[in-house]
Amino acid sequence: MHNRINLVIFASALHDNTSVVQSRHELFEGIRKFAALDILYPSMLPTNRHRLEGLVDGVDARGCALPNDRHCKTVCFIATGGTEEFFKSYYEVLPRPVLLLSDGLHNSLAASFEIKTFLAQHDIASTLFNAPLDYSPDFFTALENSLFGDADIPDTITPSDPLPKFAKSTVKAFERLRIGLIGGASGWLISSDIDRKAIEETYGTCFLDIPLSELEAAFAAVRSDNPEVEKVCYRMERFLSGDRTREDLKEAARMYLAIKELRTKYGFGALTLKCFGILDTCRTTACLALALLNDEGVVSGCEGDIPALWTMLYVKYALGETAFMANPASSNRKELTLDFAHCTIPLSMVHGYRLPSHFESQSGIGIAGSVPSGRYRIIKISGEKLDNYYETEGDIIMNTNIPQRCRTQIRFRFASEEEFERFFRVSKGNHIILCKAAGQGGPLR
């Protein structure tokens, strides 16, 4: 076959390479219909210690070719979430533009957005190709034309809009705010760093660094027979799903009370938590805790993602709404839809829920919420100084139930093809914030 693709597979250590490849059989076979396919792994590439300029004729010391020419392309398949920090070790040696491929499983698309934003921050051109869940023939035709057609592959990054001016009430709310950063940020948030000093000087907000060890100690101090633990179990036990037990729910309730204890100690009004950091030490998850805290008015985010948390706070103070922090999961260009998923959501945003395990770890308690259909906004404030802004409106048209995804899953339809395309162009990282749109004020671009 005349055309060839070197597909470099980036997968989290939580997923073995064999299962990753087997679960994408249909995707790989679709590519093989128009190009010879060589499967590579990052271990076969040089790291950032070997700059691209040091390669001879695009070949590194181990003999692995890295071409992007007319008939041979290097494509990075971001097969799972949790690969972003790993990707940083190799991005310097990749041909330009960097070609990214994602699909609708295992947080592939969300990780790809984080990587694409990181590349844009380093002035590196990149293009993201996202395979729909049904792997339609139209996708493979478009992919072939993009990779091997006559036109140049475009860099699809578009700047975000400037941040809208905050109302006085919103400014005052941020001035009084203390934000707890429990455990710092997750390593895969490679494009989500902020200039904390600049934010504190601009808004008067106070960031509090709280070691994960303090949460672990607070968790250990909460007894399983605590009356508040029993109250949570009494209220929610009937919603347990799959193999989850009352003991699992007790552990999740203990985490909720432990975070509340830290709030009493430090007086923070909002928090974000490096939630994957507690899986081994506490052997539970914070999904339920964050959901309950959000319902109590304590804006709480996952993974130590400050831009996502800041967006959730904007939604509360400027729009008067509760927010769902979610990962983009898959897209369908023909239907103008994008699926979102995460393992936590404020219960006030759902009209029913189940309590299965957390998706990635298969442990603890996650929330599979049923979100009402209707008009919603998706919003993200991003950038080092939190001065970039993205917003659009559309409709949640259904809830999905796909096993290879986080537990709360919704399908969002954009208002137009233009808005669908803009979502993929704008640089904003992996987490997106959704909230109800009807009857609320605030800017809409």
**Alpha-carbon torsion 62, 67, 72, 73, what sign?**
positive
Instruction: Tell me how far apart the alpha carbons of residues 300 and 302 are, in angstroms, rounded to a whole number.
Output: 7
Cα dihedral 397→319→157→130 (10° resolution): -20
Tokens of 27: 């995707």
**Range(s) of the chain covered by CATH 3.40.275.10:** 162-436
- The pLDDT value given to residue 438: 64
Strands 126-130 and 161-162: unpaired
Phi, psi for 422 (deg, rounded to 5): -65, -35
User: Domain spanning 162-436: which CATH class is it, in words?
Assistant: alpha beta
One digit per residue, the tens of pLDDT, for the chain of length 445 reads 689 999 999 998 766 666 777 889 999 999 999 999 999 888 888 765 444 444 434 444 444 567 788 899 999 999 998 899 989 989 988 988 899 999 998 889 999 999 999 998 898 889 999 999 999 999 999 999 999 988 777 665 667 788 999 999 999 999 999 999 999 999 999 999 999 999 999 999 999 999 999 999 999 999 999 999 999 999 999 999 999 999 999 999 999 999 999 999 999 999 999 999 999 999 999 999 999 999 999 999 999 999 999 999 999 999 999 999 999 999 999 999 999 999 999 999 999 999 999 998 999 999 999 999 999 999 999 999 999 999 999 999 999 999 989 999 999 999 999 999 999 888 889 999 999 996 544 444 3
Q: Which fold has domain 4-148?
A: Rossmann fold (3.40.50)
Q: What SS3 state is found at 4? A: strand
Degrees (nearest 5) of the Cα angle 213, 219, 225?
165
Instruction: Tell me how far apart the alpha carbons of residues 298 and 303 are, in angstroms, rounded to a whole number.
Output: 16
DSSP, res 59: B
Other C-beta atoms closer than 10 Å to the C-beta of 353 total 20
- The pLDDT value given to residue 444: 41
- Residue 5 pairs with which residues in a beta bridge? 37, 73
**Range(s) of the chain covered by CATH 3.40.50.10940:** 4-148
Class of residue 124 by CB neighbours under 10 A (exposed 0-12, middle 13-18, buried 19+): middle
DSSP, res 48: T
CB of 416 within 8 A of CB of 394?
Answer: no
